[in-house]
Structure 1
Amino acid sequence: MKKLFFLITISAAILFNSCKKELDQTPISASTTATFYRSPSDFLQASNAIYASLHNYPIRLSNLSEIRSDNIYGVSVTVRDWDPINDFSPSIAANSYVTEAWSTDFNGIFRANTLLDQIDKNGSFIESATLATRLQAEAKFLRAFYYFDLVRYFGKVPIIDHPVSAPEAATINRANVVDVYKFMIADLQSAITNLPPTYTGVDVGRATKYAAEALLAQVYMAKSSAKYGIDGPGQDSNEWNLALPLLQDIISSGLYVFNTNYSNIFSYTNQSPTVNKEAVFNVMYQTGISGTADLYGASFPWVLAPGAYFLSLKDSRSNGSLEIIPVSNDLLNSYASADVRKAFNINTAGYTNAGSTENRPFFKKWLDITKIPTTSRFDWGINFIAFRYTDILMLKAECILRGAPGAQADVDAIVNQVRIRAGLTAITGVTLPQLFEERRKEFANEGSRWFDLQRSGDLLNIMNAWRAKDDAQNAIRPATANHIIYPVPQTQIDAVPGLYIQNPGY
């Protein structure tokens, strides 16, 4: 398998850490930025370091999107970090998942800013103007990627467009979401213009023009969705017509193919982007590197699967969550009996470990028990598909239903293609709620559910109706508009007292 090898040569300080002293933006490295950037390989390694900040992205989707949504009913015997995420606790500003999202995304932004700054200052060392332009475009794509992640989780965030000193960082307040969107859109428009459509050799897996188009389309769609009375990702901008041409350009490229076999999309033997034509953009992992699995291998496949399940398989390498994180009955029952996605996405067979039997269902989409790594639980050999071709098609259908150019027949054709692959019959007159319900089953355990709920415009009604249906223990609080985004991490509130105002409701 060809994989983009993420050499993390330059480590970056995490932006806005827990105290003023740690706001220093000097990279932690034997070579400082003043002496490091002296050859094309230096710039390539720095670019790879920006990609490396994607490492935890799929785990974050599990923790902050799937667990927050109606796909999961997470009531643990011992309170775990995911429980207050699942039950809409107002006291999660210090939660490790919330803190990780802010810190890691800003780490990636810092790395992107550093590379862009050094290309401006020392770009002559790259020697190739074409390579310099491409590396700039990749950095802008990734910077926008991390900002989009932040906006969807936190709403307002500070806009940082260059490496900053500790004193400067301490003066930069959170920007309104609309301004963050402007910043992202400019980055992505530049990236689309300057990124190639494909790569060869060791560069396969880097961001392409079509990855940037997919991200920009999602930016326009998130921005166009309901505002819910908060300064969150939805801005009621009604720009569905701007997203549609981007999605159509990806479709018309001919580079991507709708895989008629659902399970094959996620096969461990179908990982290279040159082979898996469903993958518009992957988070890439490299396995089998002795002593470095924490940096390069994947661990996201087991995040929503219980450790006791792996122990029942006689695997003792600590794969799996501390307790079961059950799939909700509502999601489980939403699958028709003929739907092949149910058995692939969800484990419904009981298992026994240490004399205790567990029958509650859990997600297993990314698991192949014949591929359990032999050395480390952090070294699974599968990539994460961040932008999937089926998603591109279904986002196009959504734009049409929202009023962008197109016909009902176009929407029906897309949805029925997905349904027929799943073993279901075709339907006509697909509505927006039906589209989102189909998305729920198609993309289960891929981390899109909470964002789909945001974009649906009906998040509060859906979540509260689900609570009444699934929450037998009444452990989940009613969802309010404030719950659509997360609190600013307490470490950031404390770093410069008075600089940030906490999001309402926390």
Structure 2
Amino acid sequence: MKKIYIIPAIIILVTAVCTSCKKLLEVTPQSQITDQVYFKNETDFEPYVVGTYTSIRSFANSVLYGTERSEELINGTNSRLSTAWSQILSPTVGAINYNGQYKAIGNVNLLLSKIEPFNFSNPAIKNKLKAEALCQRAYTYFYLVRIIGNTPLMLQAITDDNVPLLPRSKASDVLKQVFADLDLAISLFPDKNYANKYRFSYGAAQALKAEAKLWSAKVLGGGEGDFNDALKAAEAVESTAVSLLPNFKDVTTTRANAEVIMSAYYYRDETGANYGLNALPFLTAISSATNLDSIAYCLTSVNGQGGYQISKESRALFSALPNDKRIPATFIIERQGNVQKSAWITKLPGTKYVDDRVSDNDVIMWRLADIYLIEAEAYAGLNNTGQAITYLNKVRIRAGINNYDGANDKSTVERAIFDERGRELFFENKRWYDIVRFHYGTTINAYDYVPNLKGKTTPLFWPLSTTVLAANSKLVQTEGY
């Protein structure tokens, strides 16, 4: 299967084989029938691995954690912003129940336990499937570390009711496991070529490693060693078959293009849509717009819910750059006569079909421009601002704006990189993580930068829900709640 859309049989399979803890993870241990019968042939492993990508796609598509707490969005015609956006979080309001994440980890743990002793006629296939599973586990643990910090670390397959109750491990220890999984996966991928940009690959593993190393360097204080590791991983990504697209507008609207390292596939009329659905306006809300023909809208709120708009803070990042080629592919100002009204997001415009526009763009997880900015950030962290500016300019040139000509001290260059990420990667589910990372790196103060954090003391990490805490006496609440 070439895409991450899953046929019903595979969905049923994944449900049947989910492994996790009843108390800690709140899911049913995997079926004894599945455990005893399913993994009998080497051909059983491929559909299982494909099926487990449903979880990865779901995490990539959730803007609750990557975007909503940032400064990027404001409410549109139909409010879709949660308590996370308002920064009102508590163990009973907006807290995380990490059931889905540990179901995904349990699936991977089962796969790894079954595939390890199994003889394959082609060892390269076994290595690839094992590498993909390791990447999925690494991605999910990194996802959790960025949300809750210290995270329970479960590595064994759970096949019965004898489930250990696990405390939260230090985030640094969890990331050690993330890097161990990624390093093993990188060694197992048979080559650097992209057989499929909807599944983990050598390049995607390196991209994930680069991003996680930046987090470790800044948020966990890993410093120089992690910055250098991030650069090595990013350089490895550059060695794969990726290149910047000439036109920025094509980046999010052309599937599996040359710039994409990995993305989650979406197609029309499947169950659920990508998060762009919440940003597309619907006709009755904008019917009086003078520039209606220039706005990507849906006929009804079924396909476009008009829940998000771009904030004035994100628009301000472009205000001094009126010739920035990214602006039309980022937002459009609705006009009614000479009056400027709403600012609609155009980053994920979907596809206009005969009957209506549908939000079916792929959700990009990593692309080359992101990697260039990771390299810029790592070089700045190492006080090599000259190289940082070189990578910063790789992104600016494609945008049609001048090379960076500001001061070259570390703090100024880092702020320029932060702002550039805000322009280049707007609405790509990166911004909140960027804010936390640059906050810990002292480039910004999140409590001054994010409008809804001003005057509040809400911790930057999420609380655990009372349901999770009640199920496991070894857990402690996230600090500050």
Change in 2 beyond 3 A, CA 1:309/1:416: farther
Q: Cα deviation per residue 1:421-461 (whole Å; 9 max; x = unaligned)?
A: 22211223551111111111110000111111122136795
Q: After TM superposition, list the pairs within 5 Å mapping 1:111-190 onto structure 2.
A: 111-121=107-117, 123-124=118-119, 126-164=120-158, 167-190=161-184
Cα displacement (A) at 1:477: 5.3
Change in 2 beyond 3 A, CA 1:204/1:486: closer
Cα displacement (A) at 1:236: 4.1
Change in 2 beyond 3 A, CA 1:22/1:210: closer
Give the residue type in structure 1 aligned to 2:170.
N
SS in structure 2 of the partner of residue 387 of structure 1:
strand
SS in structure 2 of the partner of residue 37 of structure 1:
coil
Q: Look up the match of 1:436.
A: 418
Q: Look up the match of 1:243.
A: 230
CA contact (8 A) 1:157 1:177 kept: yes
Cα displacement (A) at 1:505: 2.7
In the alignment, the residues of structure 1 paired with residue 167 and residue 60 of structure 2 have an alpha-carbon distance, to the nearest angstrom, of 28
Q: Look up the match of 1:208.
A: 201
SS in structure 1 of the partner of residue 315 of structure 2:
helix
In the alignment, the residues of structure 1 paired with residue 371 and residue 362 of structure 2 have an alpha-carbon distance, to the nearest angstrom, of 19
In the alignment, the residues of structure 1 paired with residue 166 and residue 158 of structure 2 have an alpha-carbon distance, to the nearest angstrom, of 10
Q: Look up the match of 2:381.
A: 402
1:39 equivalenced with 2:32 (yes/no) = no
Gaps of 5+ in 1: 227-233
Q: Cα deviation per residue 1:171-195 (whole Å; 9 max; x = unaligned)?
A: 2111111110111111000001011
Change in 2 beyond 3 A, CA 1:200/1:460: closer
Q: Look up the match of 2:294.
A: none
SS in structure 1 of the partner of residue 326 of structure 2:
helix
Q: Look up the match of 2:90.
A: 91
Give the root-mean-square deviation of aligned CA atoms: 3.3
Q: Look up the match of 1:502.
A: 477
SS in structure 1 of the partner of residue 207 of structure 2:
helix
Q: Look up the match of 1:284.
A: 265
1:333 equivalenced with 2:309 (yes/no) = no
Q: Cα deviation per residue 1:60-98 (whole Å; 9 max; x = unaligned)?
A: 1x22221101222349987x6x332012113364538x3
Find the partner of 1:488 among 460, 464, 474: 464
Q: Cα deviation per residue 1:117-164 (whole Å; 9 max; x = unaligned)?
A: 11135x13x432221122111110110011100100011111111222
Q: After TM superposition, list the pairs within 5 Å mapping 1:18-417 onto structure 2.
A: 22-27=26-31, 32-60=34-62, 62-74=63-75, 82-91=81-90, 93-95=92-94, 98-99=96-97, 102-121=98-117, 123-124=118-119, 126-164=120-158, 167-198=161-192, 203=196, 205-226=198-219, 234-238=220-224, 239-253=226-240, 255-267=241-253, 270-272=254-256, 276-287=257-268, 293-294=270-271, 298-306=273-281, 313=297, 315-316=299-300, 318-321=302-305, 324-335=307-318, 336-350=321-335, 359-368=341-350, 370-371=352-353, 380-403=359-382, 407-417=384-394
CA contact (8 A) 1:310 1:319 kept: no
Change in 2 beyond 3 A, CA 1:369/1:177: same
1:10 equivalenced with 2:14 (yes/no) = yes
Deviates more, 1:109-118 or 1:82-91: 82-91
Find the partner of 1:453 among 435, 458, 462: 435
Cα displacement (A) at 1:330: 1.5
CA contact (8 A) 2:186 2:202 kept: yes
In the alignment, the residues of structure 2 paired with residue 444 and residue 192 of structure 1 have an alpha-carbon distance, to the nearest angstrom, of 29
Change in 2 beyond 3 A, CA 1:325/1:147: same
Gaps of 5+ in 2: 288-296
Change in 2 beyond 3 A, CA 1:374/1:445: same
CA contact (8 A) 2:35 2:159 kept: no
SS in structure 2 of the partner of residue 344 of structure 1:
coil
Q: Look up the match of 1:229.
A: none
Deviates more, 1:386-395 or 1:334-343: 334-343
Change in 2 beyond 3 A, CA 1:310/1:45: farther
Cα displacement (A) at 1:240: 0.4
Cα displacement (A) at 1:384: 1.7
In the alignment, the residues of structure 2 paired with residue 251 and residue 444 of structure 1 have an alpha-carbon distance, to the nearest angstrom, of 22
TM-score w.r.t. the length of structure 1 is 0.81
In the alignment, the residues of structure 2 paired with residue 411 and residue 44 of structure 1 have an alpha-carbon distance, to the nearest angstrom, of 41
